[in-house]
Amino acid sequence: MATSSFFSPKVYFGEDSITFLSHLNHKKVAIVTDDFMVSSGKTRYLIDAMPHASVSVFGEVKPDPNVDILKAGAAQFKSFKPDAIVALGGGSSLDAAKGIKVTLEALDQNHRIELIAIPTTSGSGSEVTSYAIISEPENGRKYPLIAQALMPDVAILDPHLVLSVPRHIAVDTGMDVLTHAIEALVSTGANDFSDALAEKAIDLTWRNLPLIYNDEKNIQARMHMHNASCMAGMAFNSAGLGLVHGMAHAIGGMLHIPHGKINAMLLPLLIEFNAEQASPQTLERYLKCAFIMGIQHDCPRQSIAQLVQQIRNLNQQFAIPATLKKLGIDIAAFERLREQLIDAALADGCTASNPRQASPQDINQLLSLIVG
Ligand SMILES: [Fe+2]
């Protein structure tokens, strides 16, 4: 293994961990969030937790943030000069806050801003990664930006903030967590530290996501999923991801499919694809994943077939369809985009660390399998 390093913000977790906010001694705090967080009173709750801070709220983040959102946020905060940005919301708000932070720091290079990430969904892991996904609506592209400056300084994982997430979103984002963990485990950048976190994230997700599906108010299961999301984020931040994410960014961006859902649909196909020509080390890693999910078979190939089947069963249980046709996507529109989708998947920053190198023909075949 080549020399590696492992970065992580300070992480506060568990019920009522949001109260740690009151211990942070910032004078000027900028909150980056969406209009729902403002109208539902969650933003007010944060402001009340920081009675000594002067606060400015930018509540205009939309799903799949683009450069215009970053510019608007930076314009609002430029003269305010915050010493901290609190990012409150799902992956979109966290990624937008990262972009606004680096934009402000680029405008005034002597001004260092602390970034505090408070996720309200259990999925992206953005609170502990140096990734930000920024969209370009004109061509439907999503770009993963990767830079150490995008890593938050503090992450707060309070399960009460995810309790009201509806279960169809909880399972989509939860399948994103499972995909992060499995892709990190078999990635070409996997290492002992990322393995430990990925394996635990798979275990927690496998046991707790079905519990949330059956009972949205299960606070213990919500807490474990929130922690799993963070651990999977730490794992892929260190190890990298793979072709599920490379293809999901392309398909999801151009056809407007929720990120976790398209990952869940692609994951079984990519395990089959990768395992077909896998090194002994990659096979062993998929077997480890199967073992965590309770699959033990004398024949390794049978174990991997069962792993794929278990993930398909989970998708079925969560009402996540197996094909774009069943999802109601306009297939003629998909076919018009096919060449662009192949190019975008190959160029995506996540594709390079997939354990099996894919050719344009391979991706074309995988696209045919997902169409249905
Ligand atoms: Fe993801």
pLDDT digits (tens, 9 = 90+) for 87-114: 999 999 999 999 999 999 999 988 899 9
Cα(51) to ligand 1 centroid in Å equals: 35
Q: Which residues pair with 144 in a beta bridge?
A: 133
The answer to whether residue 213 is domain-embedded is yes
3-state SS class at 343: helix
Query: Does the pLDDT at position 4 exceed 80?
Result: no
| Range of the structural domain that residue 339 is part of | 167-371
Same domain, 205 and 58: no
- Residues 176, 137 contacting (CB under 8 angstroms): no
Query: Does the pLDDT at position 1 exceed 70?
Result: no
Cα(324) to ligand 1 centroid in Å equals: 18
**Residue 14 belongs to domain with CATH number:** 3.40.50.1970
Other residues' Cβ atoms within 10 Å of the Cβ of residue 308 = 19
Cα(91) to ligand 1 centroid in Å equals: 9
Q: Residue 31: in which H helix or E strand, if any?
A: strand 28-32
- Residues 227, 123 contacting (CB under 8 angstroms): no
Parallel/antiparallel/unpaired status of strands 84-89 and 114-119: parallel
**Cα 150 to Cα 148: distance, rounded to the nearest angstrom:** 5
44-48, 271-275, 338-342: segment of lowest average pLDDT: 44-48
Cα(241) to ligand 1 centroid in Å equals: 9
Average pLDDT in the 251-275 region? 96
Cα(143) to ligand 1 centroid in Å equals: 12
Cα(125) to ligand 1 centroid in Å equals: 8
- Which of 161, 186, 214 delimits the end of a domain? 161
The 10s digit of each residue's pLDDT in 142-201 is: 788 889 999 999 999 999 999 999 999 999 999 999 999 999 999 999 999 999 999 999
Cα(230) to ligand 1 centroid in Å equals: 12
Same domain, 255 and 357: yes
Same domain, 75 and 146: yes
**Cα 342 to Cα 105: distance, rounded to the nearest angstrom:** 36
Cα(27) to ligand 1 centroid in Å equals: 34
| Residue 193 structure tokens | 């530290």
Candidates 262, 270, 203, 191; CA nearest to 231 is 203
**Cα 264 to Cα 282: distance, rounded to the nearest angstrom:** 20
Cα(177) to ligand 1 centroid in Å equals: 7
* Averaged pLDDT of the chain: 94
Torsional class of 178: left (φ above 0), alpha (ψ -120 to 50), beta (otherwise): alpha
Number of domains present in the structure of the chain: 2
Residue 278 is given by DSSP the state -
Cα(349) to ligand 1 centroid in Å equals: 13
The answer to whether residue 2 is domain-embedded is no
Same domain, 182 and 143: no
- How much of the chain exceeds pLDDT 90, in percent? 85
In this structure, which amino acid lies at residue 11?
A: V
Cα(61) to ligand 1 centroid in Å equals: 19
The answer to whether residue 358 is domain-embedded is yes
| Residue 279 structure tokens | 């090194």
**Cα 45 to Cα 31: distance, rounded to the nearest angstrom:** 12
Cα(291) to ligand 1 centroid in Å equals: 23
Cα(237) to ligand 1 centroid in Å equals: 11
The 10s digit of each residue's pLDDT in 48-81 is: 889 889 999 999 999 889 999 999 999 999 999 9
Average pLDDT in the 230-239 region? 96
Same domain, 17 and 86: yes
Cα(179) to ligand 1 centroid in Å equals: 7
Cα(50) to ligand 1 centroid in Å equals: 31
In this structure, which amino acid lies at residue 303?
A: S
Cα(259) to ligand 1 centroid in Å equals: 7
- Residues 115, 153 contacting (CB under 8 angstroms): yes
Cα(127) to ligand 1 centroid in Å equals: 13
* Residue position matching structure tokens 């830079």: 147
Same domain, 194 and 296: yes
